[in-house]
């Protein structure tokens, strides 16, 4: 199942710099592991925002929920999920 997921990050301005650095490093490692595994095939930065637009390719809703809750930055994110379906005019 394909899902478009928009994630906006809202880190606290007073976050401890060491906690911030370790959380960002863990987030990068987690995201790259899922990309290499094929469940996170697209990750795009939203220009001018601390946000991304991603496409996940997962077995079901429960798996997507598991992956999103596993994000180290999850507690600091606003997330919008849109299930995707084939468009009849798409050429691919």
Count: domains in the chain: 1
Question: What are the pLDDT digits (tens) for 59-79?
Answer: 999 999 999 999 999 999 999
Question: What are the pLDDT digits (tens) for 9-64?
Answer: 999 999 999 999 999 999 999 999 999 999 999 999 999 999 999 999 999 999 99
Does residue 91 lie within any of the structural domains? no
Q: 21: phi > 0 → left, psi -120 to 50 → alpha, else beta; which?
A: alpha
pTM: 0.93
Tell me the residue range of the domain where 61 lies.
2-83
Three-class SS of 27-42: HHHHHHHHHHCCCCCE
Does residue 90 lie within any of the structural domains? no
The pLDDT-based confidence of 92 (bands split at 50, 70, 90) is confident
Does residue 63 lie within any of the structural domains? yes
Does residue 88 lie within any of the structural domains? no
Does residue 78 lie within any of the structural domains? yes
Kindly state the percentage of the chain with pLDDT values over 90: 99
């Amino acid at each position: 199942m394909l899902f478009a997921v928009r994630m906006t990050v809202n880190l606290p301005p007073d976050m401890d710099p060491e906690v911030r650095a370790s959380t960002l490093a863990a987030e990068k490692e987690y995201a790259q592991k899922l990309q290499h595994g094929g469940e996170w095939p697209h990750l795009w930065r939203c220009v001018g925002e601390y946000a991304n637009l991603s496409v996940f390719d997962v077995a079901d809703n429960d798996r997507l929920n598991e992956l999103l809750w596993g994000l180290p930055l999850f507690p600091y994110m606003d997330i919008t999920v849109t299930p995707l379906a084939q468009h009849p005019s798409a050429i691919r």
